[in-house]
Chain A
Amino acid sequence: MATALKLCILSEEALEGETDMTNQATDTDPLIIAGRVFSSRLIIGTGKYKDYAENAAAAEASGAEIVTVAVRRVNLSDPSAPMLVDYVSPEKYTFLPNTAGCFTGEDAVRTLRLAREAGGWSLVKLEVLGDEKTLYPNMPETLRAAELLINDGFEVMVYCSDDPIMARELEDIGCCAIMPLGAPIGSGLGIQNPVNIRLIVEQAKVPVLVDAGVGTASDAAVAMELGCDGVLMNTAIAEAKDPLQMARAMRHAVIAGRQAYLAGRMAKRLYADPSSPLAGLI
């Protein structure tokens, strides 16, 4: 286990350049998904907020450039109700339509085709759920839906189990990002599966983002220290007592975790090792 968790040492290239720490983790180290370049490695959901205004403020505070959105029926009884796009602009953020709530491949494909028509975006997040209690993904349906979507011209980021074999299958059929859960959606339990996440990260040639389970800032940092390319979260920010403060915390945690990963952590020892030289001791 120690070997599996031991973090990679960086290439010299990654250590060169900017001395400004924030810039090093962003400008010179972009997140690239399906050819699109992002400086933030934090993706946030837009559900569960008190209102769209708070949602917009949290998005701003988090520094996120991508937000996930859901596709739902227009409320016919109140068509003039506030709309998400009036607060969180698709001009400013990359909208990532997701299929949260879909339990079959057909529902997911239908939802994303509508999303593409509404927004004109082909980058999407596929999520096919298999169980209402755990919201665990149904992987056979996920694979089938991913294939349908890719054949239909979509660029598919995919919510998946933490099984490295499933992750590899999804990558092989052409998914542009692999998004395993760290713990059940909305649970806030933190990264319960660091070994599996690490195995997926080591084998993947496309970005790996932890998609669910983060509860607080240290969880996001753990995900990034494992070598993930990014983190997606919703509830951890939206259900914090102060969502804006938590959004800022998450922004820093993702940057800190990324930099710690790039820096390459020290080896763990069983016993103490003095930090001051022993030579010349009086």
Chain B
Amino acid sequence: MSKDMAGEMKSGEEAHKAMKITVNGEDRYFDAPLSIAGLLTSLGIAGGKVAIERNLEIVPKSAYDTIGLSDGDRIEIVHFIGGGA
């Protein structure tokens, strides 16, 4: 796929989807309304083993269902990996 085509598809997608959410540094497009739990489901990530930051603030697990995402939100989804000193 050429860069131009990818760009066109992206803008096409942008036109249909209301919100741009930056997840782990990648721009993704979603329909509103969307909760944190909904975001995890659409990304195929199990919520139990991760921690989430929304616009630099930690989202408690208990709020995954209730917190709604807004256009332009920056989300970080992290988990534990192997690491030493």
Is the CB–CB distance between A118 and B50 below 8 Å? yes
Is the CB–CB distance between B44 and A79 below 8 Å? yes
Contacts A73-B24, A79-B43; is A238 near B80 (CB within 8 Å)? no
Interface residues of B in 1-56 (CB under 8 A from A): 23-26, 43-45, 49-53, 56
Q: Tell me the minimal C-beta distance from A233 to chain B in angstroms.
A: 8
Is the CB–CB distance between A119 and B77 below 8 Å? no
B73 at the interface (CB under 8 A from A): no
With a cutoff of 8 Å between Cβ atoms, the chain A residues found around residue B25 in the complex are: 73
Does more than half of chain A's interface fall in helix, strand or loop, or is it mixed?
mixed
Is the CB–CB distance between A70 and B43 below 8 Å? no
Is the CB–CB distance between A115 and B80 below 8 Å? yes
Total residue contacts A-B, CB cutoff 8 A: 113
Q: Which A residues are closer than 8 A to B by beta carbons?
A: 44-49, 52, 55, 68-74, 76, 79-80, 83-85, 95, 97-98, 100, 110, 113-115, 117-119, 127, 159, 185-186, 211-212, 232-235, 238
Closest to A75 in B: B24
Bound-state Cα–Cα, A76 to B42, Å: 11
Interface CB pairs A-B, < 8 A, 26: A45-B84, A46-B81, A47-B82, A69-B81, A69-B83, A70-B81, A72-B83, A73-B24, A73-B25, A73-B78, A76-B26, A76-B43, A79-B45, A83-B80, A83-B81, A84-B80, A85-B80, A97-B80, A98-B84, A98-B85, A100-B83, A100-B85, A117-B51, A117-B58, A159-B85, A186-B85
**In the complex, which of the residues B26, B43, B82 contacts A84, with contact meaning CB atoms closer than 8 Å?**
B82
Is the CB–CB distance between B58 and A234 below 8 Å? no
Chain B interface size, under 10 / 10 to 19 / 20 to 34 / 35 or more: 20 to 34
Is the CB–CB distance between B79 and A83 below 8 Å? yes
Q: Tell me the minimal C-beta distance from B16 to chain A in angstroms.
A: 21
Contacts A74-B45, A113-B58, A114-B78; is A68 near B23 (CB within 8 Å)? no
Bound-state Cα–Cα, A45 to B84, Å: 4
With a cutoff of 8 Å between Cβ atoms, the chain A residues found around residue B77 in the complex are: 73-74, 76
Q: Tell me the minimal C-beta distance from B30 to chain A in angstroms.
A: 13
Bound-state Cα–Cα, A85 to B79, Å: 10
With a cutoff of 8 Å between Cβ atoms, the chain B residues found around residue A95 in the complex are: 80
Q: Tell me the minimal C-beta distance from B64 to chain A in angstroms.
A: 11
Is the CB–CB distance between B58 and A76 below 8 Å? no
Closest to A52 in B: B82
With a cutoff of 8 Å between Cβ atoms, the chain B residues found around residue A49 in the complex are: 82
Bound-state Cα–Cα, A41 to B1, Å: 55
Bound-state Cα–Cα, A232 to B84, Å: 9
Closest to B79 in A: A74
Is the CB–CB distance between A118 and B49 below 8 Å? yes
Is the CB–CB distance between A46 and B83 below 8 Å? yes
**Complex interface bits, B57-85 against A, C-beta within 8 A gives 1, otherwise 0:** 01011000000000000001111111111
